[in-house]
Structure 1
Amino acid sequence: MSSAPFITPLTLKGEHTTLEPLAMSHAEGLSEAARDGELWKLWYTTVPHPDGMKAEIERRLGLQAAGSMLPFAIRRNDTNALCGMTTYMHIDATHRRVEIGSTWYAKSAQRTAINTEAKLMLLTHAFESLGCIAVEFRTHWMNQQSRAAIARLGAKQDGILRNHMRMPDGSLRDTVVFSIIESEWPAIKRHLAFKLGR
């Protein structure tokens, strides 16, 4: 089965946020978003420094060209400002699985409806348009904020990949793996809609 449906760029628009196909034209706005909270200083994440934003966009677009990632820029609808990035990654069209990851948000967008709605749109597309049987989320063991946010979505922890990868600073990352499976999606969709007041 071809992975083409996964790697076809598309725009997902909601009430609070819009996910746009990532493009080089987003570099300046995403650099400003990363400065909101100086996110690159968090050692347990890999948020690009504003000066490296163009290179990070090029990297993600290269993975898109190779068929392993579908990257988005995240725009908040109230101000029209860019406020982060997210992707479908580790695309497995044969087994109908994707990971939602490489996600970061400007500090002012964190713990708002923006993340909940973005995840609702990405999950809806994955399960209802792409026919996924599971969607994964992965994060650093030390990233307590990310782990809590994933759990709040309704995802279940599958396990921990110890010494899974080396971070840019040379430290080793234990990766916590979460997932939502197809049979859980209807209840989680209702849960996320309820959180958004729908």
Structure 2
Amino acid sequence: MELIPCIGCLDEIENIGVSMKKITEWVILSGKFVTLVPLEYNRHDEFVRAIEEGQLHQLWYTNIPEPANVKADIERRLALHEQGSMLPFTVIDNQTGVAVGMTTYMNIDAKTPRLEIGSTWYARSAQRTPINTEAKYLLLEYAFEQLGGVAVEFRTHFLNHQSRRAIERLGAKLDGILRSHLRAKDGSIRDTCVYSMLASEWPAIKTHLLWLMAKPR
């Protein structure tokens, strides 16, 4: 069998996807209930209050910083943004104008392109409200419709049943479970559930999320 070289094929492959710079470009995403703005230090005290409100840092199956370590966590996320591997957001409750959490684009693969929505946490008062649904909607809409993503991933602790239900409610499908994947902050070894949505699934999921946000509560 004769192999015929494909002149320019490698160049074509190199040009597929989007630039990392575009994916990690600062952007503001606004909805009815929530606005996602670039992460900044000026919300530090609001983050601390949000964490203290529900003692979120004491949840063993999550990785929410201690109130005293919020500044260091902001620094970590901004450093990852500087390196081009994360786009961190502050989650603002439109009703109060106050920060109620953080979320990010992370594990970014610009060539494919695909990314993970993760490192997310919300104040207790913002949980089980339209805030999470709309925040995810805004992030998914931007990832699929503006960045041309082919897949968006979500990961969570196998035993974080609330997070798993929330992800499944969005319409994501379980890809699999990474056994003994990471060491949790309490020293235990965690299994990680990996979920994803595909670009081909986005139109139906978009309709579903718009319905969830519009239905009476």
TM-score (norm 2): 0.90
In 2, Cα distance between equivalents of 1:50 and 1:41:
11
Deviations along 1:140-160, one digit per CA (max 9) or x if unpaired, are 001000000000000000000
- For the pair 1:36 / 2:44, whether they are aligned, the reply is no
Deviation at 1:41?
0.4
In 2, Cα distance between equivalents of 1:25 and 1:81:
11
Aligned to 1:162: 179
Name structure 1 gaps, 5 residues minimum: none
Q: Of 132, 142, 163, which residue of structure 2 is paired with 1:146?
A: 163
Q: For residue 164 of structure 2, give the secondary structure of its aligned residue in structure 1.
A: helix
RMSD: 0.9
Map 1:37-186 → 2, pairs under 5 A: 37-186=54-203
- For the pair 1:24 / 2:24, whether they are aligned, the reply is no
In 1, Cα distance between equivalents of 2:52 and 2:93:
16
Aligned to 2:5: none
Q: What is the number of residues matched between the two proteins?
A: 198
Name structure 2 gaps, 5 residues minimum: 1-17
Aligned to 1:194: 211
In 2, Cα distance between equivalents of 1:183 and 1:170:
39
In 2, Cα distance between equivalents of 1:108 and 1:24:
22
In 1, Cα distance between equivalents of 2:76 and 2:183:
18
In 2, Cα distance between equivalents of 1:150 and 1:66:
28
Seq. identity, %: 56
In 2, Cα distance between equivalents of 1:47 and 1:33:
11
Bigger Cα displacement from structure 2, 26-35 vs 69-78: 26-35
In 2, Cα distance between equivalents of 1:177 and 1:164:
11
Deviation at 1:2?
2.4
In 2, Cα distance between equivalents of 1:170 and 1:188:
37
Larger radius of gyration: 2
TM-score (norm 1): 0.98
Deviation at 1:38?
0.6
In 1, Cα distance between equivalents of 2:202 and 2:31:
19
In 2, Cα distance between equivalents of 1:95 and 1:164:
24
- For the pair 1:5 / 2:22, whether they are aligned, the reply is yes
**Runs of 4+ residues over 3 Å off in structure 1:** none
Deviation at 1:35?
1.2
